[in-house]
Amino acid sequence: MRKEIKNGFKELLHKPAKLVLYIVITAFFVVMLVMGAFSASERQHAMDIRYLQAGYLALLIFFLCSNLYAGLQRGATFFSMSDVNYLFVSPLSSKRILIYGLIKQMGSTIITMLFLVCYSATLMQNFSISTVDMLLMIFGVMLVAFSAQVLSLLLYSVTNQDDRKVQIARGIITMIPVCAALVLLFAYWQSGFSLDAMLTAMAGPQIEWIPIAGWVKGAVFALIGKNFFRALILIGVFVLALLGIIIAFIKSDADYYEDVLDMTEHNYAIQRAAKSGRTSANAALRSRKIRVNKTGLNGGWGASTFFYKHILEMRRKDRLPFVGKSTVACLAICLVVSKIIEINFAAEEDMSSGMLMMMCLIIAGYVEYFMQVSGPWTLELVKPYIYLVPEKPFKKLLWAVLTSIIKPFVDAVILFTVMCAVLRGNPLTAISCALCLGTLGMAFISVSVLSERLFGRVQNKGLIVIFYLLVLMVIVLPGVIASGYLVSQFLPQIPGWVCGLPAIFWNALASIGIFAACRNILENTEMEL
């Protein structure tokens, strides 16, 4: 472990661009925490903290169940192929190697979960919580993610790919969110059907006895509320459970070398496939049958061939190009959130359909950021074909990113057409919101191009996502300020849809400027083989 840390620092010294990236991200984390602390001290009217408790518990349950489902299917691993090649054959105790893997995984989980600091300023401002409280919440998410990975390894070993045991384990995992929903419904019914009753149920002590997620949520908010006795009880239960899981795995007859070897090789194969530009490694390893409905690019010549190639690849994933799971997920989230806001704030005079669509725009932009932050064009950079096409580099770049630019616009048209009909809003407002979301998608892709131009392929995806967020904030800020100024100063006198025009024009202009500045990214072949 000491050698890995030392080599990591040496690598940073030889790659100054990545070193600058780490310094900027660290500074961003510190600034976000400091800004949140100042905002929390200045805010006079804080939101009900029970909203925060409900959202935090939902986040913990999501992390827990998703990790357990994934681990039950493919297992979990704390090791890399270098560990397999050197540690597994070394004359060291298997228990010491397992402890090394656990510590290494805990460090990896901490680094991965640091993106939660990005929300610190908003949460600290709206709920008047301190910097220490925010760090406690982040640490709680890390604990749940880590314990879920340890538990998934135990489940994979116990079930041993036995179909009957796997079905039982899936049923037990499914019972976690089901039990949470039943407890909420019972408390909601018992306290009377009202918004206050719902919040009381979500923050009540009954739901805190849900395994792992409930214990951590209860302990974190007990510490925030200075209820140290209850926090000590819940922390003790969690620690005993985690130690019990680790001891049960160590004492079990299962050979964890064999259990983690399959998943380690699986992850290694995916990484190698990604480097060589093969996106179907996952399906190939699972030996799934592929239905071939349509073949051929059906168009394209020169640089435009990549556009038709990407459409064909999109059709293999989803039946309709540009309309997939991300479109449905974004629409479902916006429908649910808008309905909750409409029910709970129906008495507010300012809560118009236009305001609801603007909130949907913010939510959709957030969802699109995580789902469209990189496109299929990045895989073309590790293949020689795009460099060999005798076209201008800028033309090849535009054709390669075209599908990634079109998809946000398609999602936006579908989303705000439905939301306009459901909320009975102004069609012009829906068009303005759709164009805002589409041009925001252009900004996402332009930042992806800029990242490839500056840093190349960064292996740590968590850090590069944070870098995207930082650059995006800088890029879209002028348009947001201009639109916000129109909203605050002229909204009663001008239509609401006009307020979105500055953001639309600025996002499009900034994105085109970045594409033009990075137009020679395909001029020189720089591949990592």
| 408 found inside a domain | yes
Residues 504, 439 contacting (CB under 8 angstroms)? yes
Q: Which amino acid, residue 231?
A: A
Q: Which amino acid, residue 79?
A: F
Q: Are 251 and 311 members of one domain?
A: no
Q: Are 25 and 115 members of one domain?
A: yes
Q: Are 97 and 239 members of one domain?
A: yes
Q: Is 346 exposed, middle or buried (0-12, 13-18, 19+ CB in 10 A)?
A: exposed
Structure tokens belonging to residue 127: 């709920």
Alpha helices in 15-130 (DSSP H): 16-42, 49-74, 81-86, 94-112, 120-127
| 439 found inside a domain | yes
Distances (CA, A) of 199 to 13, 195, 215, 292, 338: 51, 6, 18, 50, 18
Whole-angstrom distance, CA of residue 261 vs CA of residue 73: 14
Whole-angstrom distance, CA of residue 460 vs CA of residue 463: 6
Q: Are 308 and 234 members of one domain?
A: no
Strand partners, 323: 320
Q: Are 256 and 338 members of one domain?
A: no
Whole-angstrom distance, CA of residue 10 vs CA of residue 130: 36
- Three-class SS of 457-469: CCCCHHHHHHHHH
Nearest residue to 498 via CA among 486, 489, 488, 510: 486
> Tokens 């060291």, residue?
92
Whole-angstrom distance, CA of residue 91 vs CA of residue 83: 13
Which phi and psi (to 5°) does residue 449 adopt? Answer: -65, -45
| 284 found inside a domain | no
> Cβ contacts of residue 37 below 8 Å, gap of 6+?
124, 130, 131
Gyration radius of the chain over CA positions: 25
| 248 found inside a domain | yes
Q: Are 196 and 343 members of one domain?
A: no
* 249, 271, 293 - which closes a domain: 271
* 271, 290, 319 - which closes a domain: 271
| 526 found inside a domain | no
> Tokens 């090849």, residue?
396
Residues 216, 60 contacting (CB under 8 angstroms)? yes
* 221, 253, 271 - which closes a domain: 271
| 278 found inside a domain | no
Residues 37, 131 contacting (CB under 8 angstroms)? yes
Residue 381 sits in which domain range?
A: 302-517
Identify the pLDDT of residue 316.
74
Using DSSP, state whether 320 is helix, strand or coil. strand
Q: Are 248 and 343 members of one domain?
A: no
> Tokens 């909420």, residue?
184
| 525 found inside a domain | no
Q: Are 255 and 308 members of one domain?
A: no
Q: Which amino acid, residue 62?
A: F
Q: Are 90 and 142 members of one domain?
A: yes
Whole-angstrom distance, CA of residue 11 vs CA of residue 501: 45
Chain centroid to Cα 277, Å, comes to 22
Q: Which amino acid, residue 464?
A: I
Q: Are 334 and 429 members of one domain?
A: yes
**DSSP letter (8 states) at residue 162:** -
Structure tokens belonging to residue 146: 């880590």
Q: Are 385 and 486 members of one domain?
A: yes
Query: DSSP characters for 106-147?
Result: HHHHHHHGGGGGGGHHHHHHHH---HHHHHHHHHHHHHHHHH
Nearest residue to 297 via CA among 314, 281, 284, 274: 314
Q: Which amino acid, residue 45?
A: H
Whole-angstrom distance, CA of residue 476 vs CA of residue 502: 10
Structure tokens belonging to residue 464: 């590069």
> Cβ contacts of residue 96 below 8 Å, gap of 6+?
none
Using DSSP, state whether 327 is helix, strand or coil. helix
**DSSP letter (8 states) at residue 419:** H
Using DSSP, state whether 495 is helix, strand or coil. coil
Residues 483, 503 contacting (CB under 8 angstroms)? yes
Q: How many domains does the chain have?
A: 2
Q: Is 178 exposed, middle or buried (0-12, 13-18, 19+ CB in 10 A)?
A: exposed
H helix count then E strand count, the chain:
22, 0
| 282 found inside a domain | no
pLDDT tens per residue across all 529 residues of the chain: 788 778 878 877 777 766 776 777 777 777 766 766 665 555 555 677 877 888 888 888 888 887 777 666 555 566 677 777 777 778 877 667 777 776 776 666 666 666 666 666 677 777 777 778 888 888 888 888 888 877 877 776 677 656 777 788 888 888 888 888 887 777 767 766 666 777 777 777 777 888 888 889 989 988 988 888 888 999 999 999 888 888 887 776 555 555 566 656 666 665 555 555 454 444 444 444 555 556 666 677 888 888 888 888 877 776 777 787 778 878 888 887 777 666 655 555 455 777 788 888 888 887 777 666 556 777 777 677 888 888 888 888 888 888 888 888 988 899 889 888 888 888 888 898 889 988 988 888 888 888 777 766 655 555 666 677 778 888 888 888 888 888 777 777 777 778 888 889 999 999 999 888 888 887 765 544 3
Q: Are 236 and 120 members of one domain?
A: yes
Which phi and psi (to 5°) does residue 323 adopt? Answer: -125, 110
Whole-angstrom distance, CA of residue 471 vs CA of residue 449: 12
> Tokens 């795995």, residue?
249
Residues 240, 343 contacting (CB under 8 angstroms)? no
Q: Which amino acid, residue 92?
A: L
Whole-angstrom distance, CA of residue 155 vs CA of residue 157: 5
CA dihedral sign of residues 487, 493, 496, 498: negative
Using DSSP, state whether 323 is helix, strand or coil. strand
Residues 364, 408 contacting (CB under 8 angstroms)? no
